[in-house]
Structure formats: structure tokens, C-alpha cells
Chains A and B, each alone.
Chain A
Amino acid sequence: MSQLQVTVQHHPAAGGGDRVTIQLAGSLDSTTVHLLESRLTPAVASRPVQVVFDLEGLNLVTSAGIRLFLLTSKQQKQQGGQVTFVHLQPQIREVFQIIGSVPGTKIFSNTAELDAYLIARQKAHGSGE
């Protein structure tokens, strides 16, 4: 069986609100995408300001998984949240490059890079207040 492990963690975001990190491991394909779908709905029910997909353990993503990423990005953007992706393996990075950049999403090599971006973004937003 192709398998997918989904781990959901909630943290307070730097500037208030909820930051949800969703760690994926295994294969995100037509067989396993429903598992992620069922875990995502409650995970984003709190209307998090940041949704982070950590793909370090993800070996395969097919168009079924990409569709769910696109849908999630779109929904989050409409709610004023932001979706980021970290730790993409080289081939998953290549798939993302073919799909093209998704408005409202960002890709980071590692968590430090992601944190630096989020802090900078927070400062930029905060400076106007």
C-alpha cells in the first residue's frame, strides 16, 4: 500500500493568531490524498494566519496532491492566510517549478529561512501600525 503520514501541530504565530504546521511523509497520491484532506479540514478550522507544509519526508507527490495544495492555497488566500512549503526534496521542487509559482504561497529550503521570512513579514506589517 502506498502510505502517507500526516502530523499536525498548532503554534502561536509570531504576530498573533494560529500557525499550523502539517508534516507529510510517504506518498501523496490519488490513494492517500483523502487522508490529508480529512486532516486538513479540522487543522484549518481555526482560520490560521500561516499554514506550513513540511515536506521533508514526502517521497512522491502526484497531480492529485498538487490539486489539494492549490485548493488549500486558494482558500487560505481568500481568508487572508498564507501557505508556505518547506524542505522540498529535489524532485518535488522540480514538480513545483513546472506548475509555476502559486500566488499567496512561498517555498523555503528550511525552517530557518521560513522563520526569517515570517519575522520580516511581521515587522513590515507591524511597522505601519
Chain B
Amino acid sequence: MKSLGLLLMLATPSLFGQPPIAVTGVVRQALTGDPLPNILVTLNRTDAPGPEQAVTTVPNGQFEFLVPPGTYRLMAESPIFGGQIYGATSFQSGSGVALVLTPSTRLPPLDFRLTPPAAIEGTVIDGHGEPIQAAQVQLFQTLILEGRLTVIARGSANTNDLGNYRFPGLGPGEYHLVASGTPWHTWDGLAPGRGSYLVPQFYPNARSADSAAPLVLRVAEDARADFRLDEATGPGVQLSLVEAPPGIAMRLSINARGFGGRTRLQHLGTVSSSFHRVDGIPPGEYEVVVQGVVRGKPYRGLARISLAADDVTVRMPVHEMPTISGRVDCAGQSTTKMTISLYDRDQQARVPAALRPDGTFISANITPGRYSFLLAGAANCSVDRVTVGGKAVPGNRLVVGTDPIAEIVVEAKSVVSSVHGILRRGEIAQPGVKVYLAPVPPNETGPYRVYLTDSDGSFDFRRLPAGRYTLFLAPGAPELFEYANPESIAPYLKNAPTIELDADQRIRQDLAQPDPQ
């Protein structure tokens, strides 16, 4: 206990006269329950600025802090487990359960369970059974994003000299894999015989994303996904860049359809002249993208092609990428602590824009897409209306093509309405339970929200526009619960309260959790 006493002293902050509150607990491996020593545990205040507190668990896994009242986020970090937040319901992400400490809080010792990471690994071999070096394996995951089932690209890996690849640090879930590559004997360009490629293979043993099946990864599992890529010959793509800047060295990517509307990379190369040829592309539909920075300016070109048996020539105009500029107006509030970013949900791209003290912003290097604007940093500013040159932008989603757009005005207003409350079962507050909020009646646009209750059972949905809402729980909902889908939430809305929320109103609505059957 001597070493624990020393840690206690180190972790004791200056308390400014307020009675300190003890946060204690044990860090354990989630599957075995074994206590974990030597884990860095940190406590960060989230309701006010304050220094980070950090201790390392002692051999029996214990940690202890003494801190002033406030709201805190508890995290643990180690090289094996990565960073995990206390109470988080998904692996290495999510907000976790906030610790709400008031002068009267008696926090029971916390059971901090760290989920061991899982991995997917495998070997890619050729038709002779020999390892394929530098084959590309791309990983996708199906998860819930903003309340809806979404497939996201999780990364890509190249095989080593033994044909092996590995995706470590994964949580349990539904994954999709595809392997592709080019035959080694075409790399150096010494041999004629153009047009050979390795037939992309979708896990397990499928030729297309539609006929593939997900790999369901369990907690801490080391799953294997092996691939055998056969060689075939296919057509070539002849690129002819129009209006390309001189002296170009741009990145070429040829993207095919992957899983769930995401693209997968079929070919990556460098274009260094206006004419460029790529040989050996499997027949199919592709998006050809050329992008690069020439003398400090970003350029981009895009073409969609369909390849059958014959070569295709693509004439591709290359444009300087547009700059987007305008100003933010949030009812006269200062923009000094505000940040603005452009968000394209379809591409899952978030582009920051530099916001100056006078409220003007500029963002260069914008990829074509449909962007909404996100404001952060300022207490309650929420985007209300977006105009370009005085004309309203439908749905506040700005369509960006190849031309620059100036005179954007992002009108924001202060939105301070909120719904909060405490979740209890009987008399006992229920921390770490998901409370959902949906519009009444459920619609396609929302807002839909989820809140993982704090250590005192409280939930707080802030920055809500005025309107009619309902709160509900979803006991027994599937792992991938679409809480923003009117159909999938319908079974959970029986007896759910309806709340009329006016502008600038804060409504309290407590919830009772039924006893489990």
C-alpha cells in the first residue's frame, strides 16, 4: 500500500478549499477479469478547463484520484489496449460515461473494463501458391454513423514479402475485405505482354462486393482472411489530360465500387505527362481521379468510365480546385473561439476552414461534393441558413463543383433549448444506459440523438431546435441499432413521452427504466 499512498499524493490537485472527491477503481481485462497493472489512467475535466490528472495502476490494477467537484472523463491507455474511455459502449470510440462529481457524491469504486483489441490477418498467394508481395488488402466496416447503418473504409494494408498482412487494434463488429494487386512481373516494365492483372477477390472467395459476406469479428479474436488471386488479362485506360498545368506530377487513382456505396482503390499511380496509359484493369465501372499540387495550387480531374474487353481513351479536363469563401454571422457573437468546417456525409469528408476574427472564412482544395457547414467552439451557435450571393442554399447543403464559390453567408443562431433528466430504475439512478431522442412524428431529417447516461444517471440533449420530441430506451436492440431510422425505432416508442420544446427552453423529463423481465 506504500506505493499507492505515493500515487495519491501525486494525484492530489490544489483543491481551493473545496472538499475533494475520491475517484477510485480497478482496471481489469474485460474478458478474463484479471486486474491490469501499469496502465496509464487519466482524468480530464469536461465542464471547465483544468489540468489533466494522470496515474499508473499498481500491481492489483487499482487507481485513485482526489479531485474537486466537476464533470470528468476517465480514460485508460496502454500500448496493448490503446486508449479506452470509461463506460464506452464501442471499442476505442464514443464518449463513455461522464463522471459527475458534486460535493455530496459518494462514487462507488469503478470497475474499468478494458476490451482487448481484435485483429484480422491473412496471407495473399498467387495461382502457383506463392506469396504475393505488395498486394493491397482494403478493410471496410459496417457501423452506426449518425444513427444509420453506414459502411466506412477502415484502412488498407499491403502484404509483406511473405504475402502477409495484418489489421490490428480492431473492435468487435462486421467487417468486409477485398484484396487486389498487379502481377510482380509487370512492375519493372521490362517484359512485353501488357494487360495482366490480379483478379480482385472479395472475402470470402467472391468476385464482387454483392456476392461477398461480412467477416464477423468477436472481441479479442485474431481472425484470418486468406486470399488467392488469379492472374488474368484486361483492357487498358489511355488518359489524355486537357488543360493540365505543365510540369505535372499528379496522383492517379482508379476507384471501383467497394462495399456499401464506398469505393475501393483498384489502381494507384503517378501521372507525369498529359498522356498516360494504365494497362490491365479488370472490366467494370470506375471513377478515374487525377489530383495533385502544382506550384502551390491544387488541381483535380475526374472521369467515370466503363470498361469491357477493349481499351478506353479518357479525355479528362483538369481544373484548379476551387476555393470556398464567405463569412459566418451568429447573431453578432464573436467568432474568435469558433471553428468552421465543411462536411460531406456521402464522402465522409470533413474539411476545416480558416475562420478569421472578423468572421470571414476561406477553404482551399475542395473536392466536388455536397457540403453542410459545422460550427464548433462557440457555445450555442448552430447553422440556421446558408446563402450564396444572397440566394438561399437548399437544405443548407452547398453543392461544390469545379468553380470557386465566394460570398457564402453562414447565418447561425443561438440555439439553447435542451431536454435533460435522470434515468432511474425504482429509486436508483442508472449510469451507462443509452437514452435516445427522436422527433415526433419520426421523420427522415431528425434530429435524432443518443446519450449515454452519466455516472449520476443524468442525460442532457443540448442545442436542440424548437419542436416536438420523444425520449425512449431501446432494451434488447441489436448491436447495430439504427436509432435515426423511423422503422427500426417504432417498436421502442410505446409509452414514450412527447415533449413540446420552445425556443430558448430547458425542459426536464426524467425517465424510468422498467425492471428486466
The yes or no verdict on A and B being binding partners is no
- B contact residues vs A (CB 8 Å cutoff): none
- A contact residues vs B (CB 8 Å cutoff): none
